[in-house]
Amino acid sequence: MDELRVSFQKVPTKKSGDHWFVSYVNPGSGKRKRVKKKVSGLLPTEEAAQAWAKNHLPTLLKKEVALLNNQQWRSKSEVALLAHQFEAFKKLEFPKSYWQTTGALQNYVLPYFVTIADLPDPNSWYPHHQRFKVWLLSDANLPGTSKKLSVSTANKAINSLNKFCEWLRDHHQSLTYDSCRPLKAYPNKMLNRRGARDLVTEEDMVLAVNSLRAKGNDLEADGILVQRHTGMRLSELLGLSLSSLTTQVPDKLKETFKSLGIDTIYGAIYLDSQPKHGYITRGIDGSISRVPLKWRPEISPKYARTIPIHDKAVWNILATRFQAQKDLLAKTLHGPNKENYLLFDKGQRTPYMAAVKEAYVSLGLIPKVSHLLRHTRITELTMLGMDDKMLELLMGNKALAQKLYQHIVEVLNRKTIQDRDLQDIAIVA
């Protein structure tokens, strides 16, 4: 520990009082580095920080060394340049999801072929394809962890290899088809599919919500309740604005839910866009850049979703937050545009997920990631007997359902888009 020159600094925080940060000199780079609070957890005393450093710092350093070794391919200038050009190409082609391909390339494909197999020339990769495929499930780890890859992640790496080789053939013209043929992915039957064990139970939900509220994390407590009863993605939840809540519920949706035994609908969420960036920021004028919903080509009523709210508690949570933002709109705090006033204002993806995980862990429960709330809601509606295509339409799963049921989309959203003016959203007694 002496060679790391470990030191401790006390920094006051707004929510949880004093926190002692652990910092050390990285032996590889020679630079001093501070351990993030989300890694160490709250360290209220210097003694707690010292104990954490003694028990956990060696493991943290091992992970850093592993990450450094994993990225040794960057020292090969030609390969690094190709990877940079490929990333720029995919970013133009798929600006919202390019990292799924380029991230797998940089974390698995290039480390294996360039560093482990010592093959910096992609023309020599093809004979090693099957070895790479076996390595993904036998020896590869998730970046910075000791966790093995799932079959789904392995298939993403295989897809990344195929895309990279295809780009080299078609755009860089440095490969022939025979020198790097596509590698076949693992079969679908091996994929780690969601099951009953992944469902979020009502008992665990209540415990997690109470734990979050006890720690002052009301935004996260409200958020997981809304997610659980709407099936929204986290990016959609954090992007809800004054334009998103409506009392206008299309008759078609009322009929659908009535057929499931749900007679009372308090209102609905109207979704046509989400914040552009995972970390939500405002412009000088208070505006927030927005992009189409996942799987949708543009921001338009044509591709919008209307999600009915039939749970009174959830509606009241949304109505309370609506009123708070409506008051800020009256003061034009973020300008006159209603979409600048977020119902979950100041909510950010990483702190949100960390707070929810901490709540589950503190209760001795298995952490349930935010997306499992969506999985639970979809399962619930399926068990109630909702039509598969209607379910896809409400949850925004596939573009196929949107295409096949375009006439239904227009019916569902017609009343909602007729009047996007600010409405009187009231709390239900």
Q: Tell me which residue of 391, 377, 396, 374 sits closest to 272, measured CA to CA.
A: 396
Q: Tell me which residue of 177, 155, 142 sits closest to 101, measured CA to CA.
A: 155
CB under 8 Å to 45, separation ≥6 — which residues? 20
How many residues are given for the chain? 429
Measured between alpha carbons, how far is 305 from 217 in angstroms, rounded to an integer?
28
Kindly state the tokens that stand for 62. 């091992």
Q: Which CATH class is domain 196-418?
A: mainly alpha
pLDDT number for residue 94 = 83
Confidence of residue 195 (pLDDT cuts 50, 70, 90): low
Output the average pLDDT for the chain.
84
pLDDT number for residue 2 = 55
Phi, psi for 76 (deg, rounded to 5): -85, 105
Q: Structure pTM?
A: 0.63
Number of CB atoms found within 10 A of residue 34's CB: 14
Measured between alpha carbons, how far is 326 from 287 in angstroms, rounded to an integer?
16
- Edge-to-edge order in the sheet of strand 32-34: 7-13, 17-25, 32-34
pLDDT number for residue 28 = 63
pLDDT tops 70 at residue 401 = no
Measured between alpha carbons, how far is 260 from 248 in angstroms, rounded to an integer?
20
The angle formed by the CA atoms of residues 110, 138 and 183, to the nearest 5 degrees, is 50
pLDDT tops 80 at residue 166 = yes
Measured between alpha carbons, how far is 51 from 68 in angstroms, rounded to an integer?
26
Q: Can you tell me which residue has the tokens 């999801």?
A: 97
- The domain limits of the chain are 2-69, 72-190, 196-418
Measured between alpha carbons, how far is 245 from 234 in angstroms, rounded to an integer?
17
pLDDT per position as a tens digit, 112-141: 998 888 888 888 899 999 999 999 988 888
pLDDT (average), residues 84-110? 88
Of residues 393 and 318, more confidently modeled: 318
Q: Tell me which residue of 129, 133, 136 sits closest to 179, measured CA to CA.
A: 129
Q: Specify whether the CB–CB gap between 1 and 54 falls below 8 A.
A: yes
